[in-house]
A and B are shown apart, each in its own frame.
Chain A
């Protein structure tokens, strides 16, 4: 019987939620990873392993791995470092598994790769040569809090081509495995002055339709955007949403016109204390509010950039986790929702896998 497995990264470890493919009854396991803050936990469909990017205030950053669906875990940070005397690596966050390797985004901004199942790592790129790169590590030039590289979007057919998101700077594409990069921010809006219009955009989440590698969507600090040409040009599709701000986004596995976002108000919680997910079925021309089963009073829920996921079953399930520790799931494309975990620590990430 196939298992539906939801991996939840939280401020106090990784949790695993399990169900069958009906996705009605759920079992919660955890916490794992010794209670370390887990920023992103992912499943490798090829090897069956789980990887969890984490950083302990005491013991630094590393990636946990489990080859038995969470029963046992090992930690490694071998190679996850910039040269001594150079930049500090304070955190690894976004993990991407593709083409037989794992890519990890780091703070300060850089990309590390592992080709041995997260046992050892090597630095792949720090995006040198991009406009303003020499100033990215200067604290006075950084957006509040962080300047890291939280996400990497792989190309499904080309291992050497992928996109990287740098916080407060924008999207960059490489077609030669990180040797060179091109900013991909044309058409984005910025409500602040830009010294160079190629960069300076606050991209929160970048996703690709699994049916069309040209079709990308992004939620950024000031709106939803779509690209129909692999990120070369962006158009804004915010109209119809209750807020231009948000973090999470997810694409439908069987329809490239359909995707999901969770608008937040500027204080990073759902507007008016009423929980909702928003769906478009026409690539952002119109939006539908989805709230059946979600709390509609005093629900000041936040959802972070890796906080929503969608499975690839015939009728896809949608999942999101909140900064107050609830996980909500829909087994019918978002039409109705149930709360499948209620009292987890603050949630950083949600990913889902269906395992035979």
Chain B
């Protein structure tokens, strides 16, 4: 089970979506897929295509910069960050 931390910009878009969710997944991509099953449309807010995150969405697994195909171990922490942009 991964410990997923979501950016504050995301919960207002989906009913009852918390900032922190436990997800059973082997990769970042799978974790996002599991979240999309519970909150349909969530994947589209984070991913530009099937293989790419959106340019200003960054993910970290256990505090290391990661990508969609990065593996998650039991107890991994997955941070999804809306990178600071614009003004």
Contacts and interface: CB of A to CB of B under 8 A. Distances in A.
B20 interface: no
A75 B13 CA distance: 7
Contact of B56 (A58, A75, A85): A58
A88 interface: yes
A59 B48 contact: no
Nearest to B15: A74
B44 A58 contact: no
Contacts of A132: none
B56 A57 contact: yes
B38 interface: no
B50 A59 contact: no
B10 interface: yes
A84 interface: yes
Given A58-B85, A59-B10, A75-B13, A84 B50 contact: yes
B19 interface: no
Contacts, number: 43
A78 B41 contact: yes
Interface string B1-43: 0000001011011000000000000000000000000001100
A57 B48 CA distance: 11
A57 B86 CA distance: 8
B45 A59 contact: yes
A177 interface: no
A58 B82 contact: yes
B16 to A, nearest CB: 14
B48 A58 contact: no
A172 B56 CA distance: 35
Interface SS of B by simple majority = loop
B11 to A, nearest CB: 10
B41 A76 contact: yes
A62 B43 CA distance: 13
B13 to A, nearest CB: 6
Given A34-B9, A34-B12, A84-B49, A58 B54 contact: yes
Report, as a range, how many residues of chain B touch the other chain: 20 to 34
Contacts of B68: none
A81 B43 CA distance: 13
Interface string A53-80: 0001111101000000000000111100
B48 A88 contact: yes
A17 B23 CA distance: 43
A85 B49 CA distance: 8
Nearest to B40: A78
A75 B41 CA distance: 9
A59 B49 contact: no
Contacts of B66: none
Contact of B57 (A34, A58, A76, A77): A58
A58 B9 contact: yes
Interface string B53-81: 01011000000000000000000000000
Nearest to B54: A60
Interface centre among A56, A57, A58, A78 (most CB of B within 10 A): A58
A23 B18 CA distance: 42
Given A58-B56, A59-B13, A77 B41 contact: yes
B35 to A, nearest CB: 14
Contacts of A59: 9-10, 13, 45-46, 54, 57, 82
Contacts of B41: 75-78
Interface of B: 7, 9-10, 12-13, 40-41, 44-46, 48-51, 54, 56-57, 82-83, 85-86
Given A58-B85, A88-B48, 12 more contacts: A34-B12, A57-B56, A58-B45, A59-B10, A59-B13, A59-B45, A59-B46, A60-B48, A62-B44, A75-B41, A78-B40, A84-B51
10 contacts: A34-B12, A58-B9, A58-B56, A58-B82, A59-B45, A60-B44, A78-B44, A81-B44, A85-B49, A88-B48
